[in-house]
Structure 1
Amino acid sequence: MVEVNRPDRSTRRRIGKDDTIDAEAAARSYIAGQATVIPKAGDDLVEMIRMLKVAKDSATDNRTAALNQLHAIVVTAPAALRERLQRLKGKELVECCSGLRSGDISTPLAAAKMTLRTLARRIQQLDQELKDTVAQLDRLTMQHCPELRNTYGIGVDISATLVVAVGDNQERMKSEASFAALCGVNPLPASSGKVVRHRLNRSGNRQANCALHRIVICRLQRHQQTREYVERRTAEGRSMKEIIRCLKRFVAREVFGILRGGAAVRTAAV
């Protein structure tokens, strides 16, 4: 069994789309040797991490939306309530709003209090959900790959994203170059005329790409050997975008070595 990508957009515009056309396109892709990737197994720890990660991301998005709505209601609330709440920030504001009592909803002030209390209690509930989910993700990622968790700049969320990108059957990634392509950090030729340069691949798993980017940004701020590398490459005339591209490629090589259980190539060694 192999994994087949969707048909090319130009092909779909020319011949349309239905089950028969898609099946024929998949068969042609396999016969031509373009579809060779083994699908993810989805039957072990990584599948458990994936499902918990979905719940965690959803809770994070909903919490952010509720917090933005809470601040918006505070700004437009009646003056007496607004002056009382506008000095509070973060957790203090949420706790204060969760204890508001509205009584009968007969005035804008009562409606504002009820809305603020509802949003604050929703945020508190989501905070508890996030705490429980992150605790489980912490346990599972440490069980699955403790060395990855102990790597500089990689925490619970980033490690979960990276192991989900690879899947339970890690042998589907035949080389670190294939993992880099999956994460969208393999350099692609972007030369023109006498200008010879490369750019990052803009496809691939964008969540994994974002995770690698966050690792690089963390190391740029606090990792001494990475900062020394940046100084050296800057002196050679490289731009910061090019340096970050190189660092993301190095981090992908390091992560692949850890996930496959081989010798990890450390970013600090470049």
Structure 2
Amino acid sequence: MTHPRPVVFMGVDTHLDIHHLAVVDQLGAPLGDTQVPATPAGSAAAVVFAAGHGEVAAAGVEGTGSYGAGLTRFLTDAGIVVVEVNRPNRAERRLAGKSDPIDAYAAARAAASGRARTVPKDRTGTVEAIRAIHTSRRGAVKARTQAMNQLRALLVTAPAGLREHLRALPTHELVDACARLRPGHDLADPTAATKTALRRLARRIQQLSEEITDADIDLDTLTRQAAPTLRAQPGVGPDAAAKLLITAGDNPHRIGSDAAFAHLCGVAPIPASSGHTTRHRLNRGGDRQANNALHTITLTRQRHDPRTRAYTQRRTTEGLTPRDIRRCLKRYIARELHPILTADLAALTT
């Protein structure tokens, strides 16, 4: 007579080069732990090690969107349920200490107890492609802003003749003029050295602007392909659509309701009541990129959407401040866009 295999749970503390794996039973009792390299072969070894203790019911993985992304994909392909595990809070760490085995066992127990229930993003579809393009665009925007600030700061201390010639120009003309500067060959001369630096910064800005333009074209194409109905909504441009899609991931079923989506975007008010006082406070958590996307959509609709303009006017007469009105609108927009977003992604994956 064959006996059924015991049910076990995995927990993984992920790192750049290695992962520490722990296995517990249904009651959270430790069964063993090991260390594997952060490679496909290491992921396979982790599955073999966990399966040697019983039937793996679920795996709790820290950092499914960073160091644990490759392991998460491998476990999912192997048919193992993966849940996202947050790192232990500070109070628990002060009591239990900090080490890779401790964190791995904590992740396994979080999966076993059901405390960790968040389904990680699926990173195998069009949304992952959008995330890659958007990441490069965001980096280019930051680098261009930094280069522009450096150019203007250098212009402030430039020799008088050069400064007076360039300081009154608008930004676009300033960059073009600096890119055309001819510094000469005597770099020991402050004017020549300043012209050289300004030209290099200006050409860097031009190159980054081209990268941003190319990324915008790619995002426009990809977001229209992935979420055409979402893109048709008022105020939803390529950047805002990309941020919302990245927040949702390629598996929209993991967000069960518009309330969950609002919390994920950081636009759901948090109860802060006590005693006879009933109030809510601003939610400063959630995905700040998605929050920024909803903020952009809100501002655009307040300027151009008749329905939103009428709502803003009505709430203003009721005594709400512009900031409170925007917060209400962001929550309403999250409620409106959630079913549209999930329907578009569901159609994309079928």
Fold shared, TM-score > 0.5 on shorter chain: yes
Aligned in 2, Cα 1:221/1:190: closer, same or farther, shift over 3 Å? farther
SS in structure 1 of the partner of residue 270 of structure 2: strand
SS in structure 1 of the partner of residue 83 of structure 2: coil
SS in structure 2 of the partner of residue 2 of structure 1: strand
Structure holding more strand per residue: 2
Pairs within 5 Å for 1:116-195:
116-195=198-277
Q: Residue 205 of structure 1: CA displacement?
A: 0.8
Among candidates 81, 84, 98, match of residue 165 of structure 2: 84
Deviations for 1:72-130, whole angstroms, at most 9, x for unmatched residues? 11111101111111121111111111111112202110110000000000001101111
Among candidates 189, 196, 209, match of residue 114 of structure 1: 196
Q: Give unpaired runs (5+ residues) of structure 2.
A: 1-81, 345-350
- Structure 2 residue 101 is the aligned partner of structure 1 residue 20: yes
**CA distance, structure 1, for counterparts of residue 144 and residue 270 of structure 2:** 38
* TM-score normalized by the length of structure 2: 0.72
The aligned counterpart of 2:92 is: 11
Task: Report which stretch shifted further, 59-68 or 80-89.
Answer: 80-89
Structure holding more helix per residue: 1
**CA distance, structure 2, for counterparts of residue 195 and residue 245 of structure 1:** 21
Letter in 2 for 1:36: R
Letter in 2 for 1:29: A
**CA distance, structure 2, for counterparts of residue 141 and residue 17 of structure 1:** 42
CA RMSD of aligned residues (A): 1.6
**CA distance, structure 1, for counterparts of residue 212 and residue 129 of structure 2:** 16
The aligned counterpart of 1:93 is: 174
Q: Residue 31 of structure 1: CA displacement?
A: 2.5
**CA distance, structure 2, for counterparts of residue 171 and residue 124 of structure 1:** 42
Among candidates 302, 305, 322, match of residue 223 of structure 1: 305
Letter in 2 for 1:131: T
Deviations for 1:32-54, whole angstroms, at most 9, x for unmatched residues? 32211211110010000001111
The aligned counterpart of 2:317 is: 235
Letter in 1 for 2:309: R
Task: Report which stretch shifted further, 54-63 or 67-76.
Answer: 67-76
**CA distance, structure 2, for counterparts of residue 254 and residue 235 of structure 1:** 24
The aligned counterpart of 1:212 is: 294
**CA distance, structure 1, for counterparts of residue 305 and residue 211 of structure 2:** 33
Among candidates 256, 261, 268, match of residue 343 of structure 2: 261
Equivalent residue pairs, number: 262
**CA distance, structure 2, for counterparts of residue 238 and residue 88 of structure 1:** 42
SS in structure 2 of the partner of residue 3 of structure 1: strand
Letter in 2 for 1:246: C
The aligned counterpart of 2:45 is: none
Give percent identity, aligned residues only.
52
**CA distance, structure 2, for counterparts of residue 117 and residue 237 of structure 1:** 53
Q: Mark the structure with the bigger radius of gyration.
A: 2
Q: Residue 242 of structure 1: CA displacement?
A: 3.0
**CA distance, structure 2, for counterparts of residue 245 and residue 24 of structure 1:** 40
